[in-house]
Amino acid sequence: MRMFCGGEWVDRDEVLQVTNPYQGDVIDTVPVGTPGDVDTAIGVLQSGSKQMAKLSAFERAQILDRATVLSRERAEEIAKIISAEEGKILAEARIEAQRGADVLEISAEEARRLTGEMIPLDSVPAGAGKIGFTLRVPCGIVAAITPFNFPFNLVTHKVGPAIAGGNAVLIKPASETPLSALLLVEILLEAGMPPNAIACLTGSGRTLGKAICEDPRVRKISFTGSFEVGEQICRMAGMKRVTMELGSNSPVILMDDADLDLAAQAIAIAGYANAGQVCISAQRILTNSKISADFLDALRPRVAALTTGDQFDPATKVGPMVREGDAARVEQWVNDAVASGAKIVTGGQRSGSIYQPTILDNVSPGQRVSCDELFGPAVAITRFDNIHEAIKLANATTYGLSAGIFTRDIERAMTFAREVNSGNIHINWSSQWRADFMPYGGLNHSGMGKEGPKYALREMTEEKMVVMHLRGTEA
């Protein structure tokens, strides 16, 4: 596929191969963009941002409404591209394609609802005869830097609100998964998006990202990825507005009154969906010592039944990781944990980019598989004796994106909700659950700002305060 730069589809002499993570075969190629392409794209987007700012809320919503319809019409095509380039099983890719269309639809609705507020200036003596209200106006150019693990849905989470707010958008998709984003650009152009108001540049994240983040013409950056890269972006961005959706190593607490079947069901999904390559994947399973053996008995058969293989095979429940090197990293971390005293309950083997769904028991909180972001299909079980110890373990991390607890005790549940340092809190479910319209974001090294179209839209618009100084009228 070609990339979209300067209002047109372009090729370049140097190309990047996009490969199927399971088979290793080349699916397609994309151009390797350069800093010069960034300069060209942003120059054209400047004029596009002015055009977008003049569109009414109705016109912006219409673009997104048409894109929603087109996305749903092409849902199977989108799903197959997601699955081919990322390795996600086709059943999960179909869900992602549907969710992406939903995000566009929600963004259209939010475009119609974008308002300011009245400020009661006359509530103070100096405000007599004055009326105050706020206006929300577009940022201008929004840079959307997106990860590989949800290559369609997470792009819509940035692009949809940006368009709803009247901005131009520059997309930089992950190098491993650029095809889904390019397909979204096709859909948006067909839906009526001005060609000079959108760009999608492919190639090296390090090279293009630096040029994008340092360019003063970009006003807003929305990034999803690792803490390390996010921190670098913030240093380069300077005074730009930023939203950072970063990493995690999500804890899930099982109290001694937990519904163990429900917990096992939830964790068998949350620990292994998309081969564990989910920011809010359940990673640290903190289990009360009294019920740990019973919980393992409930979880083990569910995880052992998760078949691996070709992501297009309907029998496959866990596909390949996006890169063989990532599977090798997970293998190394698990082996290091075993060498330090942890025990493999099931799984623990690797074949190429496939890593078997794994349960690790007796994991010390200091082991890397517990204290860093694993981002792979394994969960680490650590025992505790009471709620206070569990919360201390849950908070023993620099991250804070999502956390869950299983308990029938409302006091324990509310203690957890108040005291665990996490942006998303789940009671009687695992860490991995998200509705696309809810506020979503992390604390500490898990980032800043919120996604969800309503909340992202506020971060992709600027607020102006308007004060009308009215003269009094004589009787």
Give residue-wise pLDDT tens across range 294-313.
Answer: 999 999 999 999 999 999 99
Residue 473 has pLDDT above 70, yes or no: no
> Which CATH number is 228's domain given?
3.40.605.10
Tokens 């607490």 correspond to what residue? 253
- Banded model confidence at residue 471, pLDDT cuts 50, 70, 90: confident
Q: Is residue 474 part of a domain?
A: no
pLDDT in tens, 348-379: 999 999 999 999 999 999 999 999 999 999 99
User: Any idea which residues carry the catalytic annotation?
Assistant: 245, 279
CA atoms of 159 and 355, how far apart (whole Å) = 33
Q: Are residues 234 and 312 in the same domain?
A: no
Domain of residue 394 covers 251-427
Please check whether residue 204 is in contact with residue 32, taking contact to mean a CB–CB distance below 8 angstroms.
yes
> What rounded mean pLDDT belongs to the chain?
97
CB atoms within 10 A of CB 181: 27
Q: Are residues 165 and 276 in the same domain?
A: no
Q: What average pLDDT does range 23-36 have in this prediction?
A: 97
CA atoms of 138 and 240, how far apart (whole Å) = 14
Residue 435 has pLDDT above 80, yes or no: yes
Question: Positive or negative CA dihedral for 433, 434, 435, 440?
Answer: positive
pLDDT at position 475:
43
CB atoms within 10 A of CB 74: 17
pLDDT in tens, 167-224: 999 999 999 999 999 999 999 999 999 999 999 999 999 999 999 999 999 999 999 9
Please check whether residue 348 is in contact with residue 339, taking contact to mean a CB–CB distance below 8 angstroms.
no
CB atoms within 10 A of CB 231: 13
pLDDT in tens, 109-118: 999 999 999 9
> Which CATH number is 390's domain given?
3.40.309.10
Q: Are residues 121 and 21 in the same domain?
A: yes
Residue 474 has pLDDT above 90, yes or no: no
Half-sphere exposure of residue 206: CA atoms within 13 angstroms, side-chain side:
1
Tokens 């028991």 correspond to what residue? 361
Tokens 């980019």 correspond to what residue? 353
CA atoms of 379 and 286, how far apart (whole Å) = 10
Q: How far is CA 202 from the centre of its chain?
A: 19
Q: Are residues 120 and 146 in the same domain?
A: yes
Which tokens belong to 117? Answer: 């507020």
What DSSP element (H or E) covers 71? helix 57-73
